[in-house]
């Protein structure tokens, strides 16, 4: 089995001016399923562009769509497995915001934990068997992460899901979730050229919007959305 993960973010990681920051995205368990939703989502985008007279190459991200249009696109993804992590920035240790590296490390941690918990739920509910997963493909919206930061995230994901983690202080080894995983790759892509990154943007924006409106518990009722909060309380 190949797993495909598409993700984007919503909000600004800035404790002084913002309450929430969100990662959100889509998890596809087969290439066939991914391609099917690409076609469905592409058709919906074409209809919106035709309605507004937009150029066919115009990028439809959440920030230019109406609430109704965003809601419609989100509903198209009802039967997709989705994940999200909500960071309550007011509860995050303020020292994390002191420099770019510590901020990026925290965001990488949040992203990895969200994916890990989503995978654990899929395993727990027997939707996937860890021994059947052979390759995982991550697609992340391209942003201003430095090259070494991109490498560090890939390495962190690989340790969690493919290699395992060693705690040197306590001389312990923690098995990876997918012991028979052959490969894990991480690609940073431009949302203007990747339809499912734009779909992930809709998921992230939906979660962020519901947080702002204090309606997040309503969103949790979506059975195919694995939603988590940080920091842990």
Structural domains of the chain, count: 1
pLDDT higher than threshold 90 for residue 86: yes
Confidence category of residue 82, pLDDT binned at 50, 70, 90: very high
Which CATH number goes with the domain that contains 205? 3.30.420.10
The stretch 93-104 carries a mean pLDDT of 92
Q: Give residue 232's pLDDT band: very low, low, confident or very high (50, 70, 90).
A: confident
d(CA 110, CA 57): 33
Strand intervals (E) in 62-134: 81-88
- Please give the Cα distance from 194 to 59 (Å, whole number): 10
Residue 67 CA to chain centroid, in angstroms? 21
For residue 149, pLDDT beyond 70: no
Tell me what pLDDT residue 223 has.
75
Asked whether the predicted pLDDT for residue 148 surpasses 70, the reply is no
Across the range 68-92, mean pLDDT stands at 94
pTM comes to: 0.93
Segments forming the whole domain that contains residue 148: 2-230
Q: Which secondary-structure segment (H or E) carries 165?
A: strand 165-167
Whether 144 shows a pLDDT value over 90: the answer reads no
Q: How confident is the model at residue 91 (pLDDT cuts 50, 70, 90)?
A: very high
Tally of CB atoms within 10 A around 224? 14
Mean pLDDT over the full length of the chain: 91
φ, ψ (nearest 5 deg) of residue 197: -70, -35
Q: Is the per-residue pLDDT at 158 higher than 60?
A: yes
Q: pLDDT class for 208, splitting at 50, 70, 90?
A: very high
- Mean of the pLDDT values across residues 92-103? 92
């Amino acid at each position: 089995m190949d797993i495909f993960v598409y993700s984007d973010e919503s909000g600004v990681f800035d404790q002084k001016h913002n309450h929430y920051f969100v990662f959100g995205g889509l998890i596809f368990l087969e290439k066939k399923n991914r391609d099917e939703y690409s076609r469905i989502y592409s058709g919906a985008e074409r209809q919106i562009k035709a309605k507004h007279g937009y150029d066919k190459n115009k990028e439809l991200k959440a920030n230019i769509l109406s609430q109704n249009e965003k809601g419609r696109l989100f509903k198209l993804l009802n039967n997709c497995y989705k994940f999200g992590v909500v960071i309550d920035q007011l509860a995050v240790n303020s020292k994390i915001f002191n420099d770019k590296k510590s901020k990026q490390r925290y965001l990488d941690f949040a992203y990895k934990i969200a994916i890990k918990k989503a995978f654990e739920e899929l395993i727990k509910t027997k939707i996937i068997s860890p021994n059947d997963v052979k390759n995982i493909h991550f697609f992340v919206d391209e942003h201003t992460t430095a090259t070494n930061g991109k490498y560090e995230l890939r390495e962190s994901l690989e340790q969690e899901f493919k290699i395992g983690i060693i705690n040197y202080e306590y001389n312990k080894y923690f098995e990876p979730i997918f012991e028979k995983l052959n490969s894990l790759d991480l690609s940073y892509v431009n949302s203007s050229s990747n339809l499912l990154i734009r779909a992930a943007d809709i998921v992230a924006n939906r979660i962020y919007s519901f947080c702002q409106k204090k309606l997040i518990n309503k969103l949790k009722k979506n059975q195919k959305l694995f939603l988590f909060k940080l920091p842990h309380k």
